[in-house]
Amino acid sequence: MSPLLPPPPLLQNYVVRFLAPTFLIRLIRLLLYRVFGILVMRTDGHNGLEALTPAERGYASPSDGVLGVREVVRRASRNAGSPASAFHDHLYATFGSSWDDEDLRKGNAVETFDEDVDQLVKRTEYYARRSGATDAIVAAMSEMLRSKEAKRLLAIPSAWLLRRGIADLYKPKMHKVFSTYLRRVRVDFALHVRKSVYPLAKMAQEQPELFGEFARAVKLMDHASSAVTNDEWDALAKYASFHPTDVQKARATVGMPDANLPPVADTRLSVNEHGEVIAMSSGFVESSSHVETSLMQLVQQYTVRGQVRQLAAKTGGRCRISRLERLASSLGKLAGTVSTLNGGWHGLKIALFAGRRSSDRTYLLLQNLFCMRHLVGYVGTSSVQSANLVDGAMRHAGIGEAGRKAQIKALLGTHAHEMSSTFAQLLARFDDEAGGGSDTPCQVSTLCAHIVFVMCNGGSGRGDGITALPDTYGTDGFCAAARAAEVPPEFVEDMKSKWNVDIHPRTRVFDLVHMWRMDSGDYATVARTVLRHSAERRAEVEAMRKRGDQDVPPGPPADVGLMHSNLGSPADVLAVSRLPVDIRPSIVGFGTLADGFAPIELAHCRVDSPEDGSSTIAGTTDNSSNGEAYWTTEATISMASVVMKAVQAYHMDSPRPTDMCTGKLGDGDGKGKLELDPRVTPEVGESMRVRWRAMSAHKSPDVERVTATLRRAYVALTREEIYNK
């Protein structure tokens, strides 16, 4: 009998459940916990609907309107601030800060998928074939799921994973900059759910108990004992050769005790005037930054669970999707994606930039394990947690260090828009000076962010190479400013003393860029913009040589490195691999297109006809009679489009500005990528749009003025340390 068929009659159902091994296992677990206090973890359960205790249901009843949603959010946030439940306390006491401690190695207190691995394999094979996976990839996926390392990853309780932050490599790299030169800076991050079929406000209204669980998960993240664990530091050293400074490590461990600020900033949930749930985190810059990736993933995961519960409610509880079925659907879709990419002979290097928008943290681990073994062109992952836990699972399976490194390859990452956004607000006066006024600002702040990042972390290529993320306030304006600005002599000194790298004193910032990352706008258009600036800069250097100048800098690299990280589907990846050679990226980075769900097979459920047509259920069979209908075979679970951006950056001794903010414009005039502080007035928001467009449009900066202003900004940060006082 298929596990997806409707349950049999009541008496028969209980007889079957009593005789089933799964029921006996659950009974034993219950006895162990009740009698001996031994907690044996479970998954979401057969139907994927997590049970809550009466105490956990202490939230407002569903009600209509903004006021009802606001009350649910208020109560959920208040209750989430109370001490964690005994369940989570016991869990954290058992597993501590490292997943590889003695209890977990022995398998104690761990709910495993052992009894369900065969079913997971069977269902994954079904979805893989439906997603167009080749027989070879289907077999490879099945082999992976049955491996010791996959079973090890499946054994990690999902609740335990939620206690640990989701971090990508770019975070600790940026945080080295922040903890060195922005120690007294407070930054506010704002969550923005751009698109969702099941918004948080709807969850608060229809499923207040699930929203309360989401609020508690957010609070548990805020109450983490450390933002980065020791084993994650070890993974960073092993797979990225990254080593934090003592100050960075201390701030990630204990926060700022003198200012009573924890290592992970507090996150506040509220409802705006439109009835939308918004989330804001505020703390010293690294602490707020730590929230971003983890909170985005939580929103994704709970949005998925909300859709599952909504479907169960619409079908009277008959059509339920278990966590195993969701996991199989995602893995099957991944198999189809890998088959498509591998069969496309793309010739690209591929970095897996997953984590922030992952549908499930267990899936994230298995996704990484499968891609590193079977995705053609794979060169590494950005996910610190995945590299760490997959490394541990392989070690537990008996794979030596050389074998582990050969598969995991490397932790990869550039930096994020939050770095340029933070510098843009803190150094806004220098942008005005460089451009000749507040109406014509020039992107000195973003240039300063890039060279300070390289000074703190080292560069690529010859040791001075920059990976540029130029679209924060427009790639064209960034390139123009970078071509105009000579590097500060203090920067030349720092690179020599810290990294033993010699940089020609007349080098322009543009000359140091070895890789350009395209993350918004039309890729071909933006890539040609970079190529145009590169050709013009090389022509300038060649003209200096022809004039007989004795002190000519090397200029930019002849081969322009391009990276594309704004891809939506496997077809997009294959399309860019076939672009003309001059604009074809050498590397692509993606995460979301390797996630999501294949259409999920449902039981042929007999339910009352939904009033709204039940858009969650993909199709219907018109066999209605007596006001009833048989609603059919598939459900679609949609991924949310969610971002979280830095929207305010200011000195801790100053109040939060109300007449300005920071954020992101993006290429393409900000269409679809514009981010602002949701708390500012429309007038302030419009003034920031105008300012950022002016920064993007600044095409002919004054070389002497831009060079002098960049030097003053660099000295103010690194010598005067204006944001460390």
Task: Give the residue among 705, 692, 687 at the shortest CA–CA distance from 417.
Answer: 692
Q: Which residues contact 101 (CB under 8 A, 6 or more apart)?
A: 95
Q: How many residues does the chain have?
A: 725
- CA 565 to CA 367: how far, in whole Å? 18
Rounded alpha-carbon distances, angstroms, from residue 396 to 152, 312, 374: 8, 38, 21
Task: Give the residue among 226, 224, 204, 229 at the shortest CA–CA distance from 215.
Answer: 204
314: tokens are 């619409």
Structural domain boundaries in the chain? 51-83+162-314, 600-635
What count of Cα atoms within 13 Å lies in the side-chain half-sphere of residue 140?
A: 19
pLDDT of residue 611: 36
pLDDT of residue 92: 35
Provide the mean pLDDT of the chain: 84
Provide the pLDDT confidence category of residue 318 given band limits of 50, 70 and 90.
Answer: confident
- CA 180 to CA 354: how far, in whole Å? 28
Q: Which residues contact 506 (CB under 8 A, 6 or more apart)?
A: 486, 551, 552, 553
Give the strand pairing for 628-631 and 513-518: unpaired
Provide the pLDDT confidence category of residue 116 given band limits of 50, 70 and 90.
Answer: confident
Please state the rounded mean pLDDT for residues 340-354: 95
Provide the pLDDT confidence category of residue 315 given band limits of 50, 70 and 90.
Answer: confident
Provide the pLDDT confidence category of residue 672 given band limits of 50, 70 and 90.
Answer: low
pLDDT tens digit sequence for 237-281: 999 999 999 999 999 999 999 899 999 999 999 998 888 899 999
Q: Is the pLDDT of residue 36 over 60?
A: no
Task: Please name the amino acid found at residue 277.
Answer: V
String of DSSP letters for 353-418: --STT-S-HHHHHHHHHHHHHH-TTEEEESBHHHHHHHHHHHHHTT--HHHHHHHH--B-----HH
pLDDT of residue 359: 94
Q: Which of 23-32, 135-144, 432-441 has the lowest mean pLDDT?
A: 23-32
Provide the pLDDT confidence category of residue 668 given band limits of 50, 70 and 90.
Answer: confident
**Burial grade of 135 (CB within 10 A; 0-12, 13-18, 19 or more):** exposed
Q: Which of 53-67, 369-383, 561-575 has the lowest mean pLDDT?
A: 53-67
Provide the pLDDT confidence category of residue 429 given band limits of 50, 70 and 90.
Answer: very high
Contact indicator for 265, 295 with CB cutoff of 8 Å: no
Task: Give the residue among 521, 532, 534 at the shortest CA–CA distance from 564.
Answer: 521
398: left (phi over 0), alpha (psi -120 to 50) or beta: left
Q: Which residues contact 118 (CB under 8 A, 6 or more apart)?
A: none
- CA 486 to CA 117: how far, in whole Å? 59
- What does pTM read for this prediction? 0.85
Contact indicator for 598, 130 with CB cutoff of 8 Å: yes
pLDDT of residue 295: 96
**Alpha helices in 277-383, H assignment, sequence order:** 285-314, 323-343, 361-374
Task: Please name the amino acid found at residue 276.
Answer: E
For residue 402, which phi and psi values (nearest 5 degrees)? -60, -40
Provide the pLDDT confidence category of residue 3 given band limits of 50, 70 and 90.
Answer: very low
Task: Tell me the angle at which helices 323-343 and 117-130 cross, rounded to the nearest 10 degrees.
Answer: 40
Q: Which of 161-165, 210-214, 396-400 has the lowest mean pLDDT?
A: 161-165
Q: Is the pLDDT of residue 107 over 60?
A: no
Provide the pLDDT confidence category of residue 550 given band limits of 50, 70 and 90.
Answer: confident
Q: Looking at mean pLDDT, say which of 109-118, 125-134, 613-622 comes out highest.
A: 125-134
Q: Looking at mean pLDDT, say which of 216-225, 320-329, 569-578 comes out highest.
A: 569-578
138: tokens are 């289907």
Provide the pLDDT confidence category of residue 65 given band limits of 50, 70 and 90.
Answer: low
Contact indicator for 412, 382 with CB cutoff of 8 Å: yes
pLDDT tens digit sequence for 681-721: 999 999 999 999 999 999 999 999 999 999 999 999 999 99
Burial 588-622 (b: 16+ CB within 10 A, else e): bbbbbbbbbbbbbbbbebebeeeeeebebbeebee
Q: Looking at mean pLDDT, say which of 368-382, 460-474, 606-620 comes out highest.
A: 368-382
Provide the pLDDT confidence category of residue 37 given band limits of 50, 70 and 90.
Answer: very low
6-9 long-range Cβ contacts below 8 angstroms, 24+ apart:
6/318, 6/603, 6/604, 6/605, 6/606, 7/318
